[in-house]
Structure 1
Amino acid sequence: MALTQGHFQAYDFNRMVVLFTMMNDKIEVPCAISTDAMDRIEGSTRTTPDRREQQFLRLRDQIEERASRKFLDLELEGNPPGIVLRSIDFRPPHA
């Protein structure tokens, strides 16, 4: 089953990630995306901390689609298991 949209949680400046959730039926799945990954998707350089939530919301569809694929591929990390998206997850496939 594919994940569905959860909630934006916070921008963690110390870890340089945006924390959010996705839903697996009624179970919340913790997720994070690095700020480098969001900047790679957007083709920008170093978005300011006060604009990270806005950036996440603009890119939400792409971020959640990739999180769903990692979930289906059982690419979970941590305890409790969650999804971590990094810049490498958004590289174009090699030809």
Structure 2
Amino acid sequence: MQDGAKEIACAISTSAMDDLERGPRTHPSEREAQFTRLRDRIEAQAASKYRATEFEGTPPGIVLRSIDFRG
């Protein structure tokens, strides 16, 4: 994720991506294609967490989990 010139580290769990698709677990070799299919939803949620300053880790970044896509 970019905020102007500042790069923000982001990650999403494989479980979150599988839950978003509501199908069987995706094989590791298919993860990139899965991310591409879900990219708009993932980026929208990452942006929402960024605006809410919900950072984790060192250096601070955005981590998305299944719970972030509920409700």
What's the TM-score once normalised by structure 2's chain length?
0.96
- What aligned pairs does 1:62-81 form with structure 2 within 5 A after superposition? 62-81=41-60
**1:9-50 superposed Cα distances (whole Å, 9 cap, x missing partner):** xxxxxxxxxxxxx10111111010001100111112210000
Identity of aligned residues (%): 58
Q: Which residue of 2 aligns with 1:84?
A: 63
Whole-angstrom distance in 2 between the partners of 1:44 and 1:67:
22
Q: Which amino acid aligns with 2:39?
A: R
Report how many residues are paired: 71
- What aligned pairs does 1:38-77 form with structure 2 within 5 A after superposition? 38-77=17-56
More strand by share: 1
Q: Which amino acid aligns with 1:34?
A: S
Aligned residues: CA RMSD: 0.6
Q: Flag structure 2 segments of 5+ consecutive residues without an equivalent.
A: none
More helix by share: 2
Q: Which amino acid aligns with 1:66?
A: Q
Which consecutive segments of 4 or more residues in structure 1 shift more than 2 A? none
Q: Which residue of 2 aligns with 1:36?
A: 15
Question: Secondary structure of the equivalent of 1:84?
Answer: strand
Question: Secondary structure of the equivalent of 1:83?
Answer: strand
